[in-house]
Amino acid sequence: MEENFALKDMFSKQSVGELAEAVIEVHPAFPADKFCQGVFDDSWEGLALKQRIRQITLNLGRNLPTDYSTALDILKKALPRLEKQGFEKMVFPDFVEVYGLDDWDTSISALEFFTQHMSAEFAIRPFIARYPKKTLNQMLAWSNHPHPGVRRLASEGCRPRLPWGLRLQDLVEDPGPILPILEKLKDDHREEIRRSVANNLNDISKDHPDLIVEILEKWQDPENIDRSQLIKHALRTLLKAGHPGALRLLGISSSPEIIVENINLEPQEITLGEDLVFSFEIQSTGKNEQELMVDYLVHFMKANGTQSPKVFKLTQKTIQPGERIRITRKHGIKHITTRKYYPGVQTFQPQVNGKLFGKVDLMLKMK
């Protein structure tokens, strides 16, 4: 894959053409040329990922039969003819989201079908928002579905704060309706489903931290490795924040008996695109063995001249009484799509068991 390839580039003239061909095979009256011309209009190159998906969806709607059920039947028959496509199939559940919100029964059945080929986690969310009780009841029933894609939708689709998805504000405020679904899926034999459960719990923890600690405390089973991994992944936001209850669940004290010293950055003046090498030492001052969760923060400069901290995971270590540990790592200050850098003072700071130690400034210059 080319270095500058973006996910949105998967939606190309080739992939859209393949979609048109698949539709024609089951519905010869489909005007493929008109459809493609509508998709690739003057705005196409400037469209982001989800905008491209929606542009394809809207042009499907303009060129398929106006009867929603008839259009869905065509798309259901066309889908198996696109076996070589992957993420490009997001168009199918998106069609349900755009055109099917007024027809719950037909649409929920379609999403159950489509999600077995490409996740419908975004498309289900407007249905939860408009029909919360019966949609969440359906998702609870889906937690027993034989297909893993449907079971994953039951968990992933109701995440209150799903990235890129419609925020489910009612579930942000009261996640109670979600919990029976997660309870059913917490020991699913598929890792991607257990991970989805953990992601959902992590979402909830941002608004209800003590509730999640209480739930995971009940779920603890030291002999169940999969459950332990789920719990740790579900706690990741709370662990970065140093939540005492979350740390306690992993056998980690929120008041470690240590000192952190000899914090060093090389270089202390850096140009965007370069690597920073940092090091620091941890000295135990306690009389007993301690579990340490070692992280670090970079307080990034913002456009308004203030700083905003970002926590980065490092390592988990056991330290003996009187022992000294040296930590050395590399951190790239490089362009990423999820962060905009601003020149000026950035600040590095170690964090151990949620407790902050010392600060060292770094000067960032732009190329």
Q: Is the dihedral of CA 140, 141, 147, 153 positive or negative?
A: negative
CATH label, 258-365, candidates 2.60.40.10, 3.40.1280.10, 1.10.260.40, 3.40.50.1100? 2.60.40.10
Q: How far is CA 172 from CA 14, 43, 158, 178, 274, in A?
A: 40, 35, 10, 10, 39
Residue 176 has pLDDT above 50, yes or no: yes
Q: Is 13 exposed, middle or buried (0-12, 13-18, 19+ CB in 10 A)?
A: exposed
CATH class of 7-249: mainly alpha
CA-based nearest residue to 72, from 18, 111, 20, 24: 111
Question: HSE-up of 181 (CA within 13 Å, CB side)?
Answer: 30
Q: pLDDT at position 1, please?
A: 38
For 31-41, the pLDDT digits (tens) are: 999 999 999 99
For residue 97, the model assigns a pLDDT of 97
Q: What is the DSSP string of 7-45?
A: GGGGS-HHHHHHHHHHHHHH-TT--HHHHHHHHTSTTGG
In the chain, what are the domain boundaries? 7-249, 258-365
pLDDT 10s digits, 107-159: 999 999 999 999 999 999 999 999 999 999 999 999 999 999 999 999 999 99
- Reported as a single tens digit per residue, the pLDDT across 152-172 is 999 999 999 999 999 999 999
Q: Is the pLDDT of residue 259 over 50?
A: yes
pLDDT at 3: 45
Q: Are strands 360-365 and 269-271 parallel, antiparallel or unpaired?
A: parallel
Average pLDDT over residues 69-86: 94
Each residue's pLDDT tens digit, 45-70: 999 999 999 999 999 999 999 999 99
Position 10 confidence tier, pLDDT thresholds 50, 70, 90 = confident
Q: How confident is the model over 182-214, as pLDDT tens digits?
A: 999 999 999 999 999 999 999 999 999 999 999
User: Is the pLDDT at 245 greater than 60, yes or no?
Assistant: yes
The mean pLDDT of the chain is: 94
Is residue 327 predicted with pLDDT exceeding 90?
Answer: yes
Q: Is the pLDDT of residue 44 over 70?
A: yes
Residues 6+ positions from 7 with CB-CB distance below 8 Å: 49, 87
| Listed residue (319, 187, 178, 303) closest to 260, CA to CA | 319
Other C-beta atoms within 10 Å of 257: how many?
14
Q: How far apart are CA 303 and CA 260, in angstroms?
A: 31
Examine the pLDDT at 4 and tell me if it is beyond 80: no
Count CA atoms within 13 Å of residue 109 on its CB side.
7
Domains 7-249 and 258-365 share a fold: no
Checking if the pLDDT of 2 tops 60, the result is no
pLDDT band with cut points at 50, 70 and 90 for residue 5: low
Instruction: Tell me what percent of the residues of the chain surpass a pLDDT of 90.
Output: 91
